[in-house]
């Protein structure tokens, strides 16, 4: 048991939280695992203490959860769901601001899990770095950027992480879609989708969180988190099918045909996520000594 660091993890029942909480506990951290639903993990663990969170869309006092914590990793928020601008603002921005204020009063370091969406839309014609002016393209990204700015204004000790799309057991979003179609027993017309996309394994994300919890050089920093090597949609499909013991099964249909088809059926967003580039390398994180697998 690491007697020096107790961490509050919010949103522990989400995809990332279900990986991060047991990871930190296995490293010897004391983890207060907080969620709106009763947290549940495989078997009892003396390093994990469950806690209930109220609805983040309404104001409440974070301080009782933080009294005995050295740090907080804030995962809770609205992501892969429909919400109006006001709800995104109340949950992703205002609730985060109140948490940062409480963490400041309690002397806890705050690790805020933002998103690459706070920095960019779903594609970019140049390689993104943390020094680029943030240009979110939707309400979700805007609410994350607003939360980042609010955290900086509170005076709390902080590290902001901007992860790219994540994959792993229980994944959602882009990779859930890619892996779903990859399991189909048919040839897929994506052999020429070669635009590079930065991705992130949830295991690598967990190791990045541990690094910034303990490395003083991460204090006050905003860090992109991604696997260092981007991958294309066609390569991701081939890799996943290989893990299933199957051939790639990819047909080299011209990209323009796929783009036109998806746009014609009103799925331009899917085209942007699988056919357009988005490269964001973790240069600053690697400079801190981050080890990835």
Paired with 34 in beta bridges are 10, 51
Q: Does the structure show a pLDDT above 90 at 109?
A: yes
pLDDT digits (tens, 9 = 90+) for 250-267: 999 999 999 999 999 999
pLDDT at residue 1 tops 50: no
> What CATH number belongs to 6-166+201-225+280-287?
3.40.50.720
Hey, what are 142's tokens? 């805007």
Least confident of 32-36, 78-82, 97-101: 78-82
Tens digits of residue pLDDT in 207-230: 999 999 999 999 999 999 999 999
Alpha helices in 133-267 (DSSP H): 139-154, 173-182, 202-214, 233-243, 255-264
Per-residue pLDDT, averaged over 240-259, amounts to 95
User: pLDDT value at position 80?
Assistant: 64
Mean residue pLDDT across the chain:
93
Q: State the pLDDT confidence band at 234, using cuts at 50, 70 and 90.
A: very high
Residue tagged 């699988």 (tokens) = 274
Q: Residue 264: which residues within 8 A CB-CB, separation 6 or more?
A: none
pLDDT in tens, 161-178: 999 999 999 888 778 888
What is the per-residue pLDDT for 175?
83
Identify the pLDDT of residue 119.
Answer: 96
Cβ proximity of 279 and 198 under 8 Å: yes
Domain locations in the chain? 6-166+201-225+280-287, 173-195+230-275
**Which residues pair with residue 197 across a beta bridge?**
231, 278
Q: Are 162 and 115 in contact (CB under 8 A)?
A: yes
Cβ-based burial of 208 (10 A; exposed 0-12, middle 13-18, buried ≥19): buried
Q: Flag whether pLDDT at 83 surpasses 90.
A: no
- H/E stretch holding 223: strand 222-225
Q: Is the pLDDT of residue 63 over 80?
A: yes
81: pLDDT strictly greater than 70: no
Please, where are the H alpha helices in 81-172?
Answer: 85-88, 95-106, 139-154
Mean pLDDT of 62-84: 90
* Among 143, 156, 124, 147, residue whose Cα is nearest residue 226: 124
Task: Give Cβ neighbours of residue 55 (< 8 Å, ≥ 6 apart).
Answer: 36
């Amino acid at each position: 048991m690491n007697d020096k660091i107790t961490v509050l993890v919010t949103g522990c029942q989400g995809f990332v939280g279900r990986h991060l909480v047991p990871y930190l506990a296995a490293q010897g951290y004391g983890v207060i695992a907080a969620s709106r639903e009763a947290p549940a993990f495989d078997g009892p663990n003396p390093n994990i203490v469950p806690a209930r969170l109220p609805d983040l869309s309404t104001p409440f006092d974070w301080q009782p959860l933080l009294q005995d914590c050295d740090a907080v990793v804030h995962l809770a928020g609205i992501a892969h769901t429909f919400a109006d601008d006001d709800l995104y603002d109340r949950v992703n921005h205002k609730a985060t601001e109140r948490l940062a204020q409480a963490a400041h009063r309690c002397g806890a370091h705050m690790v805020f899990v933002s998103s690459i969406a706070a920095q960019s839309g779903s594609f970019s014609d140049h390689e993104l770095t943390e020094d680029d002016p943030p240009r979110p393209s939707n309400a979700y990204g805007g609410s994350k950027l607003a939360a980042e700015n609010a955290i900086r204004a509170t005076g709390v000790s902080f590290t902001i992480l901007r992860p790219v799309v994540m994959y792993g057991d229980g994944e959602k979003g882009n990779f859930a879609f890619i892996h779903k179609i990859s399991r189909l027993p048919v040839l897929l017309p994506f052999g020429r989708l070669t635009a590079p996309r930065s991705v992130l394994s949830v295991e690598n994300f967990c190791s990045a969180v541990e690094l910034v919890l303990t490395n003083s050089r991460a204090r006050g920093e905003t860090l992109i988190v991604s696997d260092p090597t981007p991958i294309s949609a066609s390569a991701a499909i081939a890799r996943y099918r290989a893990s299933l013991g199957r051939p790639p099964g990819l047909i080299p249909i011209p990209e323009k045909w796929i783009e036109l088809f998806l746009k014609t059926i009103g799925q331009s967003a899917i085209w942007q996520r699988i056919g357009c580039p988005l490269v964001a390398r973790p240069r600053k994180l690697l400079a801190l000594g981050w080890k990835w697998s």
